[in-house]
């Protein structure tokens, strides 16, 4: 197999030939057909996340087909198309696992961070954390659903059911969630970097009723806002934009420091929460909903060997939607 391997913090990823490995008990081997590029991959590369063990193969929006089954794997078959998400393994017996919060497991493994991921021609996964994807939709179109869609969905549920929803940072996750929220009958307000007219047009094309800079006030108070951008300064902006009792959800794994802000922005029962990871139930819920919504992901393909360019383009905001590596 070949992979783009992170050998030192800061990168670049190295194109590497590796021996093919068979799946252990309870594992599957997946031939990768497409792997989305997520902002979290930049945080892995930049050393923003703790306890990384190098070398590691990034990538946690994996779509591929099972080409080997380990002992004891049930419910999956050879040749089946599956998706591998960020949550790659949980311990199954900590208080969080037992309390329906496996996203907060004390001893988890995360795909493309603490276990090898999908920037490769093949990868090994814990079979219990693979989602069957069926045959509808192309590999490339489905890949961004595995994190941007799925963790975005968890954030959307956490935001509550209010009809007026703000999305801060209009990248891979927001471009999917805007479609879901519009399908639910909500009104979407998209906030981008000030002056980023192209992203604002993109947001309007995907159903946002209003799009503007993050320094602008929306035309009316919001019921909730989700912050996808890794910019802590957006937290007081979003609190300012939500109504009394409104909620602000921080959906990223890493954020720059949040500047201090006056207590009155939080006062009147506004809530500020974060979303961490996903549960398998989130995946089941979202992946069954996605075909009904008719989500159209906007993707830019890159060859696997171009992973460093894809990451650089993501960092610079050079494409709309999501980048997808195709081995």
Q: Are 43 and 122 in contact (CB under 8 A)?
A: no
Smallest gap from residue 155 Cβ to Zn ion (A): 12
Smallest gap from residue 215 Cβ to Zn ion (A): 27
How many Cβ atoms sit within 10 Å of the Cβ of residue 136?
A: 10
* Smaller CB separation from Zn ion, 179 or 277: 277
* Smaller CB separation from Zn ion, 145 or 235: 145
DSSP strand pairing (222-227 vs 242-250)? parallel
Smallest gap from residue 108 Cβ to Zn ion (A): 7
Q: Are 221 and 268 in contact (CB under 8 A)?
A: no
| 122 Cα distance to chain centroid | 21
Residues 6+ apart with CB under 8 A from 107: 90, 91, 94
Smallest gap from residue 41 Cβ to Zn ion (A): 7
* Smaller CB separation from Zn ion, 107 or 220: 107
Smallest gap from residue 123 Cβ to Zn ion (A): 15
Q: Distance between CA atoms of 231 and 229, rounded to whole angstroms?
A: 5
Smallest gap from residue 65 Cβ to Zn ion (A): 22
* Smaller CB separation from Zn ion, 90 or 179: 90
By the criterion CB under 5 A, which residues form the site for Zn ion? 38, 40, 90-91, 94, 97, 105, 147
Three-state secondary structure call for residue 126? strand
Residue 170, both tokens = 């209009």
* Smaller CB separation from Zn ion, 97 or 124: 97
Cα-Cα-Cα-Cα dihedral sign, residues 181, 183, 188, 194:
positive
* Smaller CB separation from Zn ion, 90 or 299: 90
């Amino acid at each position: 197999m070949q992979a783009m391997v992170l050998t030192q913090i800061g990168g670049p990823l190295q194109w590497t030939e590796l021996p093919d490995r068979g799946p252990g008990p309870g594992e599957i081997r997946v031939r990768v057909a497409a792997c989305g590029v997520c902002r979290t991959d930049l945080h892995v590369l930049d050393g923003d996340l703790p306890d990384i063990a190098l070398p590691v193969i990034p990538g946690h929006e994996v779509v591929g087909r099972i080409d080997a089954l380990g002992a004891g794997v049930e419910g999956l078959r050879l040749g089946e198309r599956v998706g591998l998400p960020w949550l790659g393994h949980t311990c199954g017996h900590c208080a969080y696992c037992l309390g329906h919060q496996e996203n907060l497991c004390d001893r988890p493994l995360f795909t493309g961070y603490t276990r090898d991921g999908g920037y490769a021609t093949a990868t090994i996964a814990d079979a219990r954390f693979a989602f069957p994807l069926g045959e509808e939709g192309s590999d490339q179109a489905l890949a961004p659903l595995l994190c941007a869609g799925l963790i975005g969905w968890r954030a959307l549920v956490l935001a509550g059911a209010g009809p007026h929803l703000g999305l801060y940072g209009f990248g891979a996750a927001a471009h999917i969630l805007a479609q879901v929220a519009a399908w639910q009958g909500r009104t979407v307000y998209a906030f981008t970097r000030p002056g980023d007219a192209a992203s604002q047009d993109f947001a309007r094309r995907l159903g946002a009723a209003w799009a503007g800079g993050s320094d602008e006030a929306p035309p009316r108070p919001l019921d909730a806002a989700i912050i996808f951008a890794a910019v802590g300064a957006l937290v007081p902006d979003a609190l300012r934009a939500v109504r009394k009792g409104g909620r602000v959800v921080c959906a990223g794994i890493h954020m720059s420091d949040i500047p201090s802000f006056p207590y009155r922005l939080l006062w009147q029962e506004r809530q500020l929460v974060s979303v961490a990871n996903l549960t398998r139930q989130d995946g089941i819920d979202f992946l069954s909903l996605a075909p009904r919504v008719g989500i159209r992901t906007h993707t830019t393909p890159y060859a696997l060997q171009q992973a460093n360019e894809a990451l650089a383009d993501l960092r610079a905001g050079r494409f709309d939607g999501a980048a997808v590596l195709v081995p």
